[in-house]
């Protein structure tokens, strides 16, 4: 199957009310005519015209819903899963995780590969990535591989008006890299860039069906050079706080160098990582006063639970004497690379939202 780009009709052809109706149906997972009219605060004829147009363009579908009253069943309208597709990528150098999702966010296919040239010039690395993406899509049997509207990317770095920067000695060349521009030129797709830990935290909120309470989310993942990287996100009112430029919750030089611990036994290494993790989160705990602290440390394998126990003890010791309420410290529900999946969903969210795709000053979900 040849790889191609599908241009969605609503990218330019939908009226404002049609776009609003499509967005409401996507967010709510389907609605009746009456509920849609109430949500949009428009008349029944206006809703009818919008739905007729969306049905004609094969962007929505309808189904019968049994009514508790006698008479004809009510009609419920929802997004067609095959109306479009989105790509999501977790840019976890050297690991790359790709997800292809349908219009309602279901995963159709996924792939993982390693970029062994991560230390090369960023532009060359990104163009090589684009080639791998094109090859992967060409080999898929899903017809939706030809109906892609955009690529969402989660990056473990800082978002700036001029590009993406990774802090630290492992990727010194990745400073102010125009990731969006390079990949848009290489793939011919709109590209949306967001902080990867924000996307992971958003998936966590979704799985917890969550929770309006203030919470903190921390991730522990392998770096490029015998280290572990610690990322953070702030969750409030059921959403992830993104900050003014998409870097809200970023942690200052939060990593653990494992090389000096090579001669230590496993328990000593775990205690060191736990102490560093607790030292990283303690100021955020005091600043935010969360009810829950969620830790994603899947990379620790069977020792993840032990790490959390040690971190809980270390955090309690650091907070001793501080008048702050105890926060529940718990393991994240998300497994594998949820950031890629959420990045693909973010593309649909942004496409249905009347905002620019410019990432300078972007407001992630």
pLDDT tens digits along 8-43: 545 567 888 998 999 999 988 889 999 999 999 999
pLDDT tens digits along 71-109: 566 789 999 999 999 999 988 777 888 999 999 999 999
Residue 325: Cβ within 10 Å count: 8
What was the pLDDT predicted at 276?
93
Q: State the pLDDT confidence band at 172, using cuts at 50, 70 and 90.
A: low
CB 68 within 8 A of CB 51: no
Q: State the pLDDT confidence band at 68, using cuts at 50, 70 and 90.
A: low
Residue 362 in tokens:
């972007």
Residue 250: Cβ within 10 Å count: 19
> Alpha-carbon distance 223 to 251, whole Å?
15
> Alpha-carbon distance 206 to 251, whole Å?
23
Q: How far is CA 117 from the centre of its chain?
A: 25
> Alpha-carbon distance 353 to 365, whole Å?
11
Beta bridge partners of 195: 155
What was the pLDDT predicted at 121?
86
CA-to-CA dists, residue 169 to 126, 160, 226, 296, angstroms: 20, 19, 12, 24
Residue 328 in tokens:
């529940």
Q: State the pLDDT confidence band at 305, using cuts at 50, 70 and 90.
A: very high
End-to-end CA distance of the chain: 33
Three-state secondary structure call for residue 243: coil
Which of 101, 119, 162 shows the shortest CA–CA distance to 344? 101
Strands (E), the chain: 31-32, 60-65, 74-79, 85-92, 95-102, 107-114, 148-155, 158-160, 163-165, 191-195, 215-222, 227-236, 239-241, 255-257, 292-296, 328-331
Residue ranges of domains in the chain, CATH in brackets: 9-79 (1.10.10.10), 85-196+338-352 (3.30.420.40), 209-331 (3.30.420.40)
CB 66 within 8 A of CB 73: yes
Looking up tokens 């479009």 gives: 84
């Amino acid at each position: 199957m040849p790889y191609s780009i599908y241009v969605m009709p609503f990218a330019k052809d939908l009226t404002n009310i049609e776009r609003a109706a499509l967005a409401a149906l996507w967010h709510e997972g389907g609605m009746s005519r009456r509920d849609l009219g109430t949500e949009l605060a428009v008349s029944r004829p206006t809703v009818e015209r919008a739905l007729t147009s969306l049905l004609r363009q094969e962007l929505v579908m309808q189904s019968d819903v049994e009514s508790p009253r006698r008479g004809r069943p009510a009609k419920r309208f929802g997004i067609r899963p095959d109306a479009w597709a989105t790509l999501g990528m977790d840019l976890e150098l050297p690991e790359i995780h790709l997800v292809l999702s349908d219009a309602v966010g279901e995963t159709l296919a996924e792939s993982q590969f390693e970029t062994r040239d991560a230390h090369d010039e960023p532009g060359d690395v990104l163009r090589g990535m684009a080639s791998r993406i094109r090859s992967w899509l060409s080999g898929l049997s899903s017809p939706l591989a030809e109906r892609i509207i955009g690529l969402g990317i989660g990056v473990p770095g800082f978002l700036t008006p001029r590009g993406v920067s990774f802090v630290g000695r492992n990727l010194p060349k990745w400073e102010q890299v125009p990731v969006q521009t390079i990949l848009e030129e290489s793939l011919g797709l709109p590209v949306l860039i967001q902080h990867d830990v924000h996307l992971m935290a958003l998936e966590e909120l979704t799985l917890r069906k969550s929770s309006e309470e203030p919470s903190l989310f921390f991730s522990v993942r392998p770096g490029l050079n015998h280290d572990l990287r610690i990322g953070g996100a702030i969750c409030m009112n059921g959403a992830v706080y993104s900050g003014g430029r998409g870097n809200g919750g970023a942690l200052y030089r939060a990593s653990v160098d494992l090389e000096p611990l090579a001669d230590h036994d496993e328990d000593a290494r775990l205690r060191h990582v736990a102490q560093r993790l607790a030292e990283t989160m303690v100021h955020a705990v005091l600043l935010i006063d969360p009810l829950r602290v969620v830790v994603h440390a899947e990379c620790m394998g069977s020792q993840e639970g032990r790490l959390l126990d040690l971190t809980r003890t270390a955090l309690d010791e650091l907070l001793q004497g501080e008048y702050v309420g105890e926060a529940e410290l718990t393991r994240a529900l998300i497994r594998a690379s949820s950031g890629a999946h959420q990045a693909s969903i973010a593309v649909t969210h942004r496409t249905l939202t009347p905002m620019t795709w410019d990432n300078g000053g972007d407001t992630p979900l």
